[in-house]
Structure 1
């Protein structure tokens, strides 16, 4: 039987939730194996992204106790997107399909059944889409939904209310491997791959334990990363603002000349002050946006590794595939 499923789960300081995540994933994987939807070679792979607590020790213990669990230890903390990519790229040669999800159990693991069904029906990519956010505060819900709308408006093609809970086939993973960006925003890159895709909706739950790894500051940083790594629309917006300011300045010049020939040569200081501040602010904003893109180019040209795997707890499974 083929249909080997790997579930990759990035972890950063997740010792409080890891045991429960492993328990629920074990039950779900064993259920799918019994139903013969997936192979008994399927695995749950935890990616340790430079955790400072006992996360890696717990992953090693899980692997020792049950071959269903495996682990990847990164050489240092690389951030969620790089850790996720490390998991996907490391396991793609062993899996027919890979599901990525977070360790906090906010994404409903029961949606895995529907994802696998859609894969078996011919889909290469299945997106987990949050239908409701009842457990989120109004502020969190508002900012999260605004995040997706702004991203799409500025040219980053994302699936609304989809984070990183998705299924990808081996073919889709091979397509993802061809994207060499150092500045990663997988939510925008994956839709570029193409191939038949579908969605599965689920209700977002409360975090089982621990603290969120994506507070507002990190969400804003992720949004900036996504926009500037996937779209040049912000630079085009600056160009548009530049033209608008130019036309306003022409109108002001005409107005001042008319006032001059009418004999009203005294000009109010307020209009001058406002103009100086407005143009100065626009210039600083423009320099900042252009600088962000130059910084991205600088990092891309260096071609630094996006992740370095220190160890992979899967040697015996590798031999089984040879």
Structure 2
């Protein structure tokens, strides 16, 4: 059986369409399936629409969070509740083309255990959003040492791969990177991002920035290394400035005023403050992991056996 996980946050207008299109497509190809809609604490009528879809189709499963826990938590909860031999994660706004599901499924039947959906094009986006997205993927690719330039959450995972992901105890999990990190026999499928038929994108430039910071810290120690590099550069700068000052002193041209001292204090002080901020962020994430709170809390379920 194939499990389709669809994280849903304020997607009330898209539930019925997604359920109907995907169900019809899979049924016409004789693929046994379950659709798992995960309502991530939506503020609109998303849960009511999931209930309606489940009444008309027993293959539709609904999971309702007690509040908004974020897309990563919704993804992992869907994987944890799935029962299929393979799972596909996709957006319920149908920007991930449903037809690609069949291609992914056939590749899985051929023996591939992870089928990555990679973006051939990103669709229509503002210049600012494209620029911020491009910067995000460059940073995350360097940080996690995996090419994330065309990566997406749209992918198929064999049950073995799903179990490997669920066995990881970390709370701040980055699905896109971890699904590549676990390995297994992998292939890719290209797709064009479609325009949303209803609603608006939940990803603003600011949310992308926060997403980038959270996931870089969760998957890499690169920012901590930046602190070390900055410290080395300041140390080298101090040596050069110190040599210059000594030369002028012995030549009888001592530096007048406090300009150099103030400059050094400002530079070193700013480096220290930035360093403390980065270290503090890592400590806060360690604190979250140590507390061991669950990634999410499920308040309701529909059609879950």
Partner residue in 2 for 1:233: 222
Whether 2:1 is the aligned partner of 1:10: answer no
Partner residue in 2 for 1:289: 278
Give 1:295 deviation, angstroms: 0.6
Instruction: Write the distance in 1 (CA, Å) between the matches of 2:157 and 2:26.
Output: 17
Please, which of 26, 30, 46 is the counterpart of residue 29 of structure 1?
26
Give 1:231 deviation, angstroms: 0.8
Whether 2:291 is the aligned partner of 1:278: answer no
Name the SS for the 1:46 alignment partner. Answer: strand
Question: Where does 1:1-322 land on structure 2 (aligned, <5 Å)?
Answer: 4-33=1-30, 38-39=31-32, 42-91=33-82, 94-155=83-144, 157-267=146-256, 269-315=258-304, 318=305
**Gap change, CA 1:181 and 1:298, over 3 Å in 2:** same
Asked whether the equivalents of residues 184 and 225 of structure 1 are also in contact (C-alpha less than 8 Å), the reply is no
More displaced stretch, 202-211 vs 297-306: 202-211
Structure 1 residues not aligned, in runs of 5+: none
Structure 2 residues not aligned, in runs of 5+: none
Asked whether the equivalents of residues 156 and 188 of structure 1 are also in contact (C-alpha less than 8 Å), the reply is no
Asked whether the equivalents of residues 39 and 47 of structure 2 are also in contact (C-alpha less than 8 Å), the reply is yes
Name the SS for the 1:164 alignment partner. Answer: coil
Aligned length: 305
Q: Deviations over 1:28-67 (max 9, x none)?
A: 222222xxxx22xx11111011111111111011101111
Name the SS for the 1:206 alignment partner. Answer: coil
Asked whether the equivalents of residues 8 and 101 of structure 1 are also in contact (C-alpha less than 8 Å), the reply is yes
Instruction: Write the distance in 2 (CA, Å) between the matches of 1:153 and 1:81.
Output: 21
Name the SS for the 1:70 alignment partner. Answer: strand
Taking structure 1 as the reference length, the TM-score comes to 0.90
Instruction: Write the distance in 2 (CA, Å) between the matches of 1:267 and 1:89.
Output: 68
**Gap change, CA 1:122 and 1:104, over 3 Å in 2:** same
Asked whether the equivalents of residues 60 and 303 of structure 2 are also in contact (C-alpha less than 8 Å), the reply is no
Give 1:209 deviation, angstroms: 1.4
Instruction: Write the distance in 1 (CA, Å) between the matches of 2:8 and 2:217.
Output: 26
Give 1:20 deviation, angstroms: 1.9
Instruction: Write the distance in 2 (CA, Å) between the matches of 1:237 and 1:287.
Output: 12
More displaced stretch, 133-142 vs 47-56: 133-142
